[in-house]
Amino acid sequence: MDNKGIIELGLFEHLNIADTERIHSQVIAWLLSQDSPLSPSKKSDFLVSFLGLENKAYQTIDTITEFQNIDILIRADDELFVIENKLKSSQHSDQLSKYINTLDKHVSDFWMLKKANPPRFYFLTLIGEEAGCDGWENTNYGKLLEAVQQLGGIDTHPLISAYAVSLKNLMTIVESFNRDPRQFHTVFTDGSLKKWEKAQRIRDGKYTPAQAYIAKCQMETILQKMFMARLAGQLELQSGDSVKINETWGVALLQVAFSSLVVEMSGNTFNLGVQLQDRSFKINLMAQEYASSKTDWVRPTASNVFKNIAEELGLRFNPPRSNAYLSMSKRLPKSLWEYSFDDLVVCMKEECVIAKAVCHDLKSRIEAIL
């Protein structure tokens, strides 16, 4: 399907729950629960296929959801599988590490599990995000769709068929967007709109069927994040450079910190790096403990260095506002969706080479006055 194609809207779409993480967690749990319409052997096959396990036949499988904030727990014989489900959101506050600790404290007692079989942890995402945490394995909605489709047959439960339709729609959107983001400009332009504003545009016929599906399910930001992750993977960064993808007001933000360009100031550690959000490209200095940082961590002399170099380069200087952060910015010639992906990669590689040279100059000048 391209962005002009017709999407088969099913039960989950009509109930407005196709994009709800909790619903997907509950359906997965239901398929493996004591109340599942599947036979024990089908449940075992589904679990093995979904999580990519060694081919084995589990005799007894049960599930529980939202236990100590963990999305899905699956007990298969004497093994335990833990799933954190992220459809449109990203992990936060080191939650994956916290869940490992939670399991140690509570689950063994809850299900009387043997310590000889440590839990296995899975990070389930729509766009194939990396868990980035030791002990977690990555899986995605594409694998979930394959496992559900394998349950098909003449006697398939109608709810399972409806769920397969919903999963296929989600994956079709992801794959179509990945093929040519330029056909989905609303992903980049409408992410910050309110839900009622998107609904009005749908009623006014301003969206293609695929764009309307994205708007109705509010998938703009997660698709932008996937786009940014794909872009970051092509930038040929050095080992140790860190990449973070966040968002503000529905617009994805890519931050790259150069590992070799670190500045110590006011007893705190800062990284020099670059940031991309919409058409804004920034060279920045950011405290490693950014969330808890204060503007007075940035010394006025460092701000002056940034301001002077920004003026030399004809860039806009951005002073600290509420955190320890300085930047200089420029606008790209075009919006991200107007580039072919390959052209954007070339553009960003060139910008990063220039920015890294500027960061070396910044580091030298700042350290010379501290």
Q: Tell me how many domains the chain contains.
A: 2
Q: Is 182 a member of any domain?
A: no
Q: Kindly state whether residue 155 falls inside one of the protein's structural domains.
A: yes
Residues 124 and 257 in one domain: no
Confidence at residue 43, expressed as pLDDT on a 0 to 100 scale: 95
Quote the pLDDT of residue 55: 83
Judge if 154 and 16 occupy the same domain. Answer: yes
Low-confidence ranges of the chain (pLDDT < 70): 1-7, 91-116, 154
Question: Would you say residue 148 lies in a domain?
Answer: yes
Same domain, 151 and 274: no
Quote the pLDDT of residue 2.
43
Helix (H, G, I), strand (E, B) or coil at 13: helix
Question: Do 151 and 243 sit in the same domain of this protein?
Answer: no
Domain boundary among 136, 159, 182: 159
Q: Which residue has the tokens 């998107």?
A: 198
Among residues 129, 159, 189, the one where a domain terminates is 159
What DSSP assignment string belongs to 268-296?
Answer: EEEEEEEEEETTEEEEEEEETTGGG--GG
Regarding whether 238 and 121 lie in a shared domain, the answer is no
147 and 240 together in one domain:
no
Assess contact for 186 and 206: CB atoms under 8 A.
no
Q: Are residues 153 and 237 in the same domain?
A: no
CATH of the domain at 93: 3.40.1350
Please tell me whether residues 141 and 251 are part of one structural domain: no
* Distance (Å) of CA 51 to CA 56, 121, 138, 147, 347: 12, 10, 9, 9, 38
170 occurs within a structural domain: no
Is 55 part of a structural domain of the chain?
yes
- Same domain flag for 131 and 266: no
CA atoms within 13 A on the CB side of 40: 8
Task: Say what the pLDDT of residue 258 is.
Answer: 95
The residue out of 127, 159, 191 marking a domain boundary is 159
pLDDT at 56: 87
Task: Kindly state whether residue 205 falls inside one of the protein's structural domains.
Answer: no
Residues 22 and 152 in one domain: yes
Q: What was the pLDDT predicted at 91? A: 59
Judge whether 246 lies within some domain. Answer: yes
Q: How far apart are CA 218 and CA 198, in angstroms?
A: 9
Residues 140 and 237 in one domain: no
289 located within any domain: yes
**Does residue 266 share a domain with residue 357?**
yes
Residue type, 57: A
Nearest to 199 by CA among 215, 210, 187, 185: 215
Range of the domain at 347: 233-369
